[in-house]
Structure 1
Amino acid sequence: MSRFDPRGKANRALLAGVSEYDHTAPDPQGVAGQLPAVRHNRTTLEDALHRGGVFGAGEVRTLASPAPDDFTGALRRACREARGLLLLYFAGHAVTSTSGNELHLQMRTARVLTGHGLPGSVSFSQVLGELAESHAEQVVVILDCCYAGNAAGIWHRFDDPKRKKHKILLLMSVQPNRCILGGDADVATPFTRELTRALDAGGDVWLSELYAAVKERMAAAKYRAEDDDPQRPQALAPPWDPEADVLLAAGPAMPPPPLAGDPWLLRLRALLTRGAGEGSGRKGGTPRTGASGTGAGEAGAPNAGAGRAGGREGGTRKTGASGTGAGEARGRKAGAGEAGVGEADAPNAGAGEAGGREGLAPGTGVRKARARKSAARSGRIVPAVLLALLVTGAGGYGILALTGESAPCGPSLELRVLTDPDLEPVIRAAADAYVTSDANTTGDGCRRSGVTVNSAGAVAVVTALGERTDAWQQPREDDNPQRDIGPQPDVWIPATRADVDRVTSAAAREDRVFARLEPQDGPLAYSPVVLAVPKARGAGLDPTGRSLAELHADLERADAATELHRSDPESTDSALLATVGLYGDEPGARGAAHARAAERRLARTARPEPSAARLLCTLPGDHAVDGRSTALVPEFLLKTGIGCHPATRVPRVAAYPDDVPGLEPAFVRVRWEDGDRDAEARDDAVDRFRTWLTGTDGRTVLGEHGFRSATGERGLLDAASAPEGLAESVRPARRADPSTMDRALERYGNAHGPGRVLFLLDSSGSMAGRWDGSSGGPGILKQTLPGLGGEDEYGVWAVHGTGDRTHTTLLTFGTHERSAAEQALDKAEVRDAEADPSGALRDALDFMRERGTDERPQLIVYLTDGEDDGRLTGKALEDVVDRARGAGAPVAMVSLSSSGCDQGRPAPRIAEAGRGRCLDVGDDLVPALHDEVARTGTGEE
């Protein structure tokens, strides 16, 4: 392994944080308790990774309290998609098997059964198996859970005959056979807190440096694990060789310390002014035994309640049972309240409210009681100590621990916001600014609400909100929007209001709908979908007042090597709206051919990028490609840029097609049936966020990211910092139409759905020397068959004869098992006859025209040695060329002659007329032909 810099690659980070569990103590099958601190783990680490510059837009996915299927499904998807770095993070409860040889990560549905059954858990060995088979070059696993250190032993014992596990590195929150504490509800757990601080240190942060920094920070803070053991993070095999390391962040440094008006300092001042002489806010210092205690379980009973913060994160060591949190079967007294209700001097009595906080030994109710008595004797000592801690940099937890007082701010309500992948970085930036704003801060300096932003494919979201809201509330194995999209949103911000109409139309056809949409009047902002043209190629281009087809035709006339790129229309609205412009409004069969032709004009790629940001991120990987590529993207990306590897990018200017609708993000409140338990508080939080986002502060953030005004001349909200190449004002194109978007989506699906391929194999006598083996005619065609799937229709004609009959059928046109098609080609024979290529091609073009009334992709492949090209001249050639232009089925002319595609030969003329390719033995013929067939078919890419 060498020093690995993943920037610019297809990276993925999957952050699974289980903060809420369905089964908790005192349920005898439940886990120790809830883990509210893990909510902060998810958001703080996600933000740190976004700031770090290694992971780009759409490359970080969080899973909020997933069920096992949600987790494994997302893991498999990340393993498929990652080509560079794959980072997997897990925080939540975990237990070991009785022997200690397996670590079980407990998901939301986790239970603990008699006999050590652990439904709702995922074994770490299973996780290693998925990661080892991933496409990623390098994998980093970060575990913040009980027994995290046991993962190293499982890695060493993992059966790995293919030697794939060595790309997997582990970073673990605690040493083997140790439980950690559940953390405070107001902050992330100690390990993740220090991890994100180290990631935010600024500059390049390598894994080896990250581990050293976290280890040093945790030692200095003297964080404690269960039984008052020090909590020491672990790594798989430190120290790393300097040449065998992984870059995890390359971002800017952390902002300076908060100023005097910071909400945290306001909270501190409120705490100081309370005075320690009040017995920490309780009359006479009497400990509470109700609201925040653990419950008065029987002494020594397993799974006694874990207290307000959920107790420790895990179970009774090496038993497979979930832990006790406050008391254990080893003679400890179960706690009931913060000071415990067991014997006054019993060791570790009652973990209670603060028993799950970082840095404090668990179950120290007696010591806390003594601390409160000491504090009561001198009302001046505590403020002095607090100020000393503040000066020396001690964390807020140390302050709270010394006072024995809960934080003055309770946990804030969390808003769930769902948006389009192209918009996610912008909405996330706005949410971050809002969360720390005065609008979201009470007079006591407390946060009113948090905001979690995630994105999912636009088509999937429209379908789920319109047709699958029942499954969103009650997921099924085969239908689980919570797994495929994310948690039920409070707010949806689609890229266009037309999406709301598409959802409403679909919902009207459903018997029962469990979500109601309440869109706000008017869009939040505006951003046109533009043709981002390399500056050198756009010099003579009139950027406005023309259709997309006209703009692109001008670019192609100036340079035929110009490439057109677009991201996935099923993932983002910007790509779907661009597709509306590409396809136009041609009806019927003519429109089907037009859609197919439009797709053929796009640059050939294995699969479309999931977002426009990702598209712009991949182009600079090849400077020559970047220089000749135009891209259909939202205009705002030309200002804000993209979060991937810094590279010298070709500067681009914007051309504004007048037939492509622009982005007009809408703010939509989503109300869920039976979701009214905290409706008033949630409505208030949504209203505050909407008011801020549509006000001056929100418009400032949108302007900084390159958006325009939603009304008037659509001027840039931040015109002062507009990059070169953007228009000062733009005339908006027609608004997005729901039915037009649905139609374009259907046509796109058809154009990329099951295809039709007709193979023409020259079987005349001159082919006798080019017939046998893998480089012969039948052998070449056999090597293209993997590009076809079971739903594709295809057939093979043997071309021979010069009279009325120009071919015979080797394989009837239809769907086939590959073995049947191979057998048909194996039986093909050379005929003692000449061939008439013009007659065979006319028949083939007519045959495919009759089948081309829909938008399914089509292709004609003619493979020949060119010996009969004398019959492809004059009127015969012109007739074939004319038919090829209007057939809608591209013709791939494949010549076994080295000069078959030379200028002036008939093959390149026919291929060009039908927007196909001409290939001869001077090309890498077999792979190129396979790619052509695979672009039409649904088999292997």
Structure 2
Amino acid sequence: MNRALLVGVPAYEFTQPGHPFGVPGNLEAVEHNLVGLAAALRAGGVFAEQEVGVVRPRNVDEFDRRLDDAVDEAEGLLLLYFSGHGAVPSTGDELWLLMRAATIVAGTESVFRGAVPWKSVLTVLTRTRAEHVVVVLDCCYAGNASAAWDALDTAQRHRISLLMGVQANNRIDAGDEATPTPFTAELIRGLRAERDGAPVGFKGLAERLRAYMSAHHTTLRDPAEPWEPQSRPAGSGTDVLLAAGAGTAVTDVTEVTAVTAATEVTAVTAATEVTAVTTAATEVTAVTAAVGVTAVPEMPDGAADRTPRGPGRTPAAPDLPPPPRRAPWPPPRPRRPRPAGAPLRGARRRLTGRTRAVAVTAGVLTVLAGLVPAGYLLAGSLISGGQPCKPPLELRLLTDPEIESTVRNATEVYLVSDQNRNGAGCRRSGITVYSAGAADVVAAFHDQSDPWQRPTSEAVNPQRDIGPQPDIWIPATSASAARARPAQDRRSYAELLVDPAPFAYSPLVLAVPQQIAAEAVADRHGGLTELMDALRTREPKAEVRRPDPEHTDSGLVATIGLYGAEETNAAAAEGRVAQPGPPSPTGGNLLCALPDDDSVDDRTAALVPEFLLKSGVDCDSTTRARRLAAYPDDAPGLDPTFVRVRWQEADRDKDAREDAVDRFRAWLTGSDGGTVGGKAGEAVRGGLVEFGKDGFRHASAGHRPLAADLTFSAFGAVGSPGALAAPARPSSMAAALKEYRDANGPGRVLFLLDSSGSMGDLWTGPGGAPGIVKQSLGGLGEQDEYGVWAVAAAPGAPLAHQELLPFGRYRREEAERAVDERTQVKDVEADPYRALTAALDDMARRGADDDRPQLIVYITDGEDNNRLTEGGRLETLRAYARDKKVPVVMASLDSGGCDKGKPDAVVAEASGGRCLDTRTDLVAGLRDEVARAGTGDEG
């Protein structure tokens, strides 16, 4: 069941100038929005009459009740629309949606009574069972909603598409009182798609709105700006069908997947699904709600038969007038601103009157609609002679997000090839391509094949978090296929038949901006650590970034190279690729994000697969810094592998499905008469041609380019770079993933506070030693562990320190109180050598069984450093710090404490830590270092 909740506030109870805290005025145009949009949605073939609800909430409680109902009832598509006053406070960018009884209390921080914070609305939406959520906001400051969407985790962003009526921090006008608002008027036109009757997807609609509004309207900002609606489409390129197009009704279909340029029609019974995939064929798409009959597709030179809408259907909205004049619409901005053919456990997977819908990947429009209990939805595709073809069998192909584009391109070529046609010229099969996070997919095959067939809880639901059960899986590395196999003693509901060899290869490269890259090709080959060190020697401000190791195999193999030798500490290695915010989900996203800031683009190298230098730069090819590839010989590359997936109890069409998978596999891997890593000069065929076009290499030893005529130097790569790393081992990938998760989990920090007599003048106030410790606690969260030692002891004492705060987890207020109450200066000396060696021992012991971030902080005036240097102690401590591999931050309250060769600098460098003194902002620097180890809010 789909649900559309249209929320509009055309009239407000408290308005200016009659009420001191009233909103600027009523919005009569919103009433036309609700009527016109409801009609357009009901006529669009995606929402049934009873699935579109309209509410004009007086207060927040009424809005919450209606939203909760929609969230609970939706199972396919949930659409939420809001039109009314929107506002943001003067101290931040949080968007508030004002209900009918709303008031605005201005002040240093404006208060919006009777309003709903957008962030809370988004939180409620994330708990729905619906397969996909679309939100449309037509209000002032609608663009300010993007920040909360950006903060969602990856799985949530994959399910929610957001369309915002205007860019952030802008007010807009409401138009004429007798017509819809300008934005919604164009929204309705777009949904009706009256010019060509084509299906309307979220992405195309968003692009149309942005182009039209920016060309014809301006905002109310002073000076005026072009009115530019913003959008946040769902992750991984997911698109959702919002209107089925003229002559198309899909309310009898449980699941329909159609691609924008689709030209063939697939038929399906009410309990299954239909997929029309992009082809270059000349057949046309036509789907009808008629029961028990065959729909005749529209011919290219004729008009389509328009099937009458069923009983109760609301006709399309009347023609809308041209864009009206503008009228003020405040409030003013305050100051300061599954495989379908493989049924899941037989009859248990039938929908019995309930909707299930899946949002698929880039370029795919998913129709989510209600189920009619009886009858069939039939559609035909014409062959020569005018006879209809039988609906082709549909396969589902799951792949890694990094290689999804290439896999999709190859699949589209196969679908229109002769290899996918029978003797009558009809398609043998269709294929739906989608992707999901690599770590999640491996875990699902290994441990969750049962709930993938039949989800039993909200916590574990691979159908929601990954997608439908695939017939084919193409991981980006053969190691992932091996890791996904369940243990022999574990019952599994999916059988993975992994090809004995991969069919393509792409090495991992360090893509370095040309102006800071090594000129000689020979200098662009070696260990990853060596290449990174050489880069920073050439450009000290150079940075290195890597995609998310949990989302793609490319990020994980980069992590293997980054962690390098066994003695490398994962937390320290992560510091070498640290960046603001979370890592990019894929290497393609990373390369597309870098040009957003020219200074960052010019100094930042990216750890990505080589093929992306050829095929992953379309997003910003004209502005990106040109990059040259350096080839680490200790970081494995990608070796995509074909995996056939058989599901228990999925016996329907078994033989036909096996045949369809075999045919596609033979074509994709070149084993139908082409080559897979054959002799030099031997031509490749089938899918290998498409992989070659995108810059992939042969999977065999030597890794020659698949496309012999491809000029690698044209995109900064090297055709024959020398010896490349062997494919990743399953154990190496599993270990790197565990270390990465540990290194980015809760941290451990031990503070050493010099409390000797010489610290008396450096003790009180925010800049005193205890005050510095307290300010640093902001970088630690309640899951982090930390403790505080006071370093001062009488001669002959067994320990050189006293424990002020035992090691453990604390609320910040609790820890600050302990520091205030328990720290005091003593009239004795400090022994930094004994204290630091004891601290290194303690932290090494705590981190023996995991790779969580660890840090030692020593705050001192350096007065007792003579006890650190006497008798060769400094060299001993240097070696000890290197051996224990726990970073030490030496925070010297002496302005010259970090001069080269000084004891504090020596200890910090040997441990992989940092030396800070008062010539810099010591407090800010220390807070940043602590935040890197911890999970707090600062840093």
| Deviation of 1:684 (Å) | 4.0
Q: 2:545 maps to which residue?
A: 565
Residues 797, 811 of structure 1: 8 Å contact kept: yes
Residues 190, 208 of structure 2: 8 Å contact kept: no
CA distance in structure 2 between the aligned counterparts of 1:938 and 1:500, rounded to whole angstroms: 33
Q: 1:861 maps to which residue?
A: 857
CA distance in structure 2 between the aligned counterparts of 1:703 and 1:817, rounded to whole angstroms: 56
Segment of structure 1 superposing worse, 792-801 or 622-631: 622-631
Q: Which of 811, 815, 830 is the matching residue for 1:821?
A: 815
CA distance in structure 2 between the aligned counterparts of 1:890 and 1:814, rounded to whole angstroms: 19
| Deviation of 1:673 (Å) | 2.3
| 1:799 alignment partner AA | V
Residues 190, 205 of structure 2: 8 Å contact kept: no
| Deviation of 1:500 (Å) | 1.8
Q: 1:43 maps to which residue?
A: none
Q: Which of 927, 930, 935 is the matching residue for 2:932?
A: 935
Q: Is 1:425 the equivalent of 2:405?
A: yes
CA distance in structure 1 between the aligned counterparts of 2:776 and 2:730, rounded to whole angstroms: 39
Q: Which of 842, 846, 851 is the matching residue for 2:846?
A: 851
CA distance in structure 1 between the aligned counterparts of 2:878 and 2:692, rounded to whole angstroms: 52
| Deviation of 1:473 (Å) | 1.4
Q: Which of 905, 909, 922 is the matching residue for 1:908?
A: 905
Describe the shift of the 1:289–1:756 C-alpha distance in structure 2 as closer, same or farther (beyond 3 A).
closer
Residues 214, 228 of structure 2: 8 Å contact kept: no
Describe the shift of the 1:103–1:780 C-alpha distance in structure 2 as closer, same or farther (beyond 3 A).
closer
Structure 2 unaligned spans of 5+: 5-43, 84-95, 98-115, 123-133, 150-161, 167-180, 238-258, 264-277, 296-304, 316-378, 671-684
Written as runs of structure 1 = structure 2, the 5 A alignment for 1:154-553 is 168-169=164-165, 190=198, 192=200, 207-210=209-212, 243-246=226-229, 267=283, 290-291=292-293, 408=388, 412-440=392-420, 447-475=427-455, 476-504=457-485, 506-510=486-490, 512-535=491-514, 536-540=516-520, 542=522, 546-553=526-533
Q: 1:95 maps to which residue?
A: 51
Q: Is 1:710 the equivalent of 2:699?
A: yes
Written as runs of structure 1 = structure 2, the 5 A alignment for 1:873-884 is 873=869, 875-884=872-881
CA distance in structure 2 between the aligned counterparts of 1:450 and 1:162, rounded to whole angstroms: 36
| 1:780 alignment partner AA | I
| Deviation of 1:489 (Å) | 1.6
Residues 163, 231 of structure 2: 8 Å contact kept: no
Describe the shift of the 1:623–1:247 C-alpha distance in structure 2 as closer, same or farther (beyond 3 A).
same
| Deviation of 1:716 (Å) | 0.9
| Deviation of 1:796 (Å) | 0.3
CA distance in structure 2 between the aligned counterparts of 1:188 and 1:449, rounded to whole angstroms: 28
| Deviation of 1:458 (Å) | 1.2
| 1:169 alignment partner AA | G
| Deviation of 1:881 (Å) | 2.5
CA distance in structure 2 between the aligned counterparts of 1:92 and 1:288, rounded to whole angstroms: 17
Q: Deviations over 1:465-487 (max 9, x none)?
A: 11101111112211111221122
Q: Deviations over 1:893-920 (max 9, x none)?
A: 1133443333343322221111111223
CA distance in structure 2 between the aligned counterparts of 1:441 and 1:657, rounded to whole angstroms: 44
Describe the shift of the 1:411–1:815 C-alpha distance in structure 2 as closer, same or farther (beyond 3 A).
same
SS in 1 for 2:165: strand
Q: Which of 727, 735, 753 is the matching residue for 1:735?
A: 727
| Deviation of 1:256 (Å) | 13
Residues 412, 450 of structure 1: 8 Å contact kept: yes
CA distance in structure 2 between the aligned counterparts of 1:573 and 1:119, rounded to whole angstroms: 32
Task: Give the number of the structure whose residues are more often helix, by fraction.
Answer: 1
CA distance in structure 1 between the aligned counterparts of 2:489 and 2:638, rounded to whole angstroms: 27
Describe the shift of the 1:503–1:211 C-alpha distance in structure 2 as closer, same or farther (beyond 3 A).
same
Written as runs of structure 1 = structure 2, the 5 A alignment for 1:698-777 is 698-724=687-713, 725-729=716-720, 730-777=722-769
CA distance in structure 2 between the aligned counterparts of 1:314 and 1:865, rounded to whole angstroms: 82
| 1:519 alignment partner AA | V
Q: 1:798 maps to which residue?
A: 790
Residues 524, 629 of structure 2: 8 Å contact kept: no
Segment of structure 1 superposing worse, 166-175 or 483-492: 166-175
Residues 858, 891 of structure 2: 8 Å contact kept: yes
CA distance in structure 2 between the aligned counterparts of 1:177 and 1:735, rounded to whole angstroms: 50
| Deviation of 1:652 (Å) | 2.8
Q: Deviations over 1:448-506 (max 9, x none)?
A: 544332222211110001110111111221111122112222211101122222111x3
| Deviation of 1:198 (Å) | 7.9
Q: 1:644 maps to which residue?
A: 619
| 1:95 alignment partner AA | E
SS in 2 for 1:918: strand
Segment of structure 1 superposing worse, 732-741 or 597-606: 597-606
What percent identity do the matched residue pairs reach?
44
Q: TM-score, normalised by structure 2?
A: 0.62
Describe the shift of the 1:437–1:560 C-alpha distance in structure 2 as closer, same or farther (beyond 3 A).
same
CA distance in structure 2 between the aligned counterparts of 1:705 and 1:437, rounded to whole angstroms: 19
SS in 1 for 2:406: helix
| 2:80 alignment partner AA | F
Q: 1:692 maps to which residue?
A: 667
| 1:473 alignment partner AA | Q
Q: Which of 119, 127, 151 is the matching residue for 1:133?
A: 119
Describe the shift of the 1:477–1:407 C-alpha distance in structure 2 as closer, same or farther (beyond 3 A).
farther
| Deviation of 1:539 (Å) | 2.5
Q: Deviations over 1:272-321 (max 9, x none)?
A: xxxxxxxxxxxxxxx9974469xxxxxxxxxxxxx99996699889xxxx
CA distance in structure 1 between the aligned counterparts of 2:893 and 2:190, rounded to whole angstroms: 69
Describe the shift of the 1:310–1:637 C-alpha distance in structure 2 as closer, same or farther (beyond 3 A).
farther
Residues 543, 656 of structure 1: 8 Å contact kept: no
CA distance in structure 2 between the aligned counterparts of 1:533 and 1:515, rounded to whole angstroms: 42
Segment of structure 1 superposing worse, 679-688 or 160-169: 160-169
SS in 1 for 2:880: helix
Structure 1 unaligned spans of 5+: 1-20, 23-30, 33-88, 137-147, 200-204, 216-233, 272-286, 294-306, 318-396
Written as runs of structure 1 = structure 2, the 5 A alignment for 1:136-151 is none
Q: 1:780 maps to which residue?
A: 772
Residues 595, 620 of structure 2: 8 Å contact kept: no
SS in 2 for 1:721: coil
The alignment's C-alpha RMSD in Å is 5.4
CA distance in structure 1 between the aligned counterparts of 2:280 and 2:562, rounded to whole angstroms: 52
| Deviation of 1:863 (Å) | 1.5
CA distance in structure 2 between the aligned counterparts of 1:105 and 1:668, rounded to whole angstroms: 47
Describe the shift of the 1:452–1:794 C-alpha distance in structure 2 as closer, same or farther (beyond 3 A).
same
Q: 2:833 maps to which residue?
A: 838
| 1:895 alignment partner AA | S
Residues 81, 137 of structure 2: 8 Å contact kept: no
CA distance in structure 1 between the aligned counterparts of 2:121 and 2:909, rounded to whole angstroms: 37
SS in 2 for 1:720: coil
Residues 182, 312 of structure 1: 8 Å contact kept: no
CA distance in structure 1 between the aligned counterparts of 2:594 and 2:482, rounded to whole angstroms: 34
Residues 96, 103 of structure 1: 8 Å contact kept: no
CA distance in structure 2 between the aligned counterparts of 1:928 and 1:513, rounded to whole angstroms: 51
